[in-house]
Amino acid sequence: MTTSNLSKVKPAFRTKGNVTGNFGAPKRTKEAYNTGIGVTNAKVVNVVKQEDYLKRLYAAFENTNDEKLKQFIYIEIKKIMIQRGEW
Per-residue exposure over 39-59, b if at least 16 CB sit within 10 Å of its own CB, e if not: eeeeeeeeeeeeeeebeebee
Strands (E), the chain: none
**CA 65 to CA 67: how far, in whole Å?**
6
Q: pLDDT tier at 39 (50, 70, 90 boundaries)?
A: confident
Q: Quote the mean pLDDT of the chain.
A: 80
Model pTM score? 0.52
39 compared with 54, residue with greater pLDDT: 54
**CA 58 to CA 71: how far, in whole Å?**
12
